[in-house]
Amino acid sequence: MPALPVGINERLMKLRIPLSRIRHLPIISAYAPTLTSPDDVKEKFYEQFDQVIRSTPPSDTLVTVGDFNARVRGDYSSWKGVLGRHGVGKVNGNGLLLSKCTEHSLCITNTLLRMADKYKTTWMHPRSRHWHMIDFVIVRQRDIKDVRVTRAMTGAEGWTN
């Protein structure tokens, strides 16, 4: 690898892979604050996320992956280009993600394709035992044509979700 990942902070990391002499594939890895985190912590995360996206050249094919701790299914017609028809569950209070995606013309690819929920959900609520989609792959809307499938892989062995 010509470059190592760059840690922006404890919640954001960026790796920029050269595809050619003039084209790059930046991959942003994100771990957003949980729903119960204070609002100022969430706002700071999304301000930093915004800065990372703005610092990425518009010509690059941007891919963002991570645990955004946000449920985004809602009226997909209100979020045209950001959400597809195939989300899971309901929107929660971590909805800043939808606003940032709209602002930067990004699309949450997990909601585009029809497939079984088990291939989209990654977290089960401990009380309700309902599965939720909180981990996303996000690309620029103009790059949707390059996305063939987005599937979640649950069941990783470890001490965290």
Which one, of 72, 57, 60, lies nearest residue 112 by Cα?
72
pTM of the model: 0.88
Q: 32-41, 84-93, 118-127: which has the highest mean pLDDT?
A: 32-41
Helices (H), ranges, the chain: 39-54, 96-103
When the pLDDT of each residue in the chain is averaged and rounded to a whole number, the result is 87
Pair 135, 66: CB distance under 8 Å: yes
Considering the chain, what percentage of its residues have pLDDT values greater than 70? 92
For 12, counting Cβ atoms within 10 Å of its Cβ (0-12 exposed, 13-18 middle, 19+ buried), the class is buried
pLDDT bracket for residue 124 (50, 70, 90): confident
CA distances from 132 to 18, 140, 152, 156 (A): 34, 23, 11, 16
pLDDT of 158 > 60? The answer is no
Residue 154 scores a pLDDT above 70:
no
Q: What angle do CA 111, 41, 47 make, to 5 degrees?
A: 65
How many residues does this entry show for the chain?
161
- Does residue 88 carry a pLDDT above 80? no
Question: Where are the strands (E) in the chain, listed by range?
Answer: 6-7, 12-18, 24-31, 63-67, 106-108, 123-124, 131-132, 135-140
pLDDT given at position 157: 57
Q: Which pLDDT score is estimated for 145?
A: 93
Q: What's the whole-number mean pLDDT along residues 55-76?
A: 88
Backbone angles phi, psi at 104, to 5 degrees: -105, 10
Q: Higher-confidence residue: 90 or 30?
A: 30
What superfamily in CATH does domain 6-146 come from?
Answer: Endonuclease/exonuclease/phosphatase (3.60.10.10)
pLDDT band for position 33 (50/70/90)?
very high
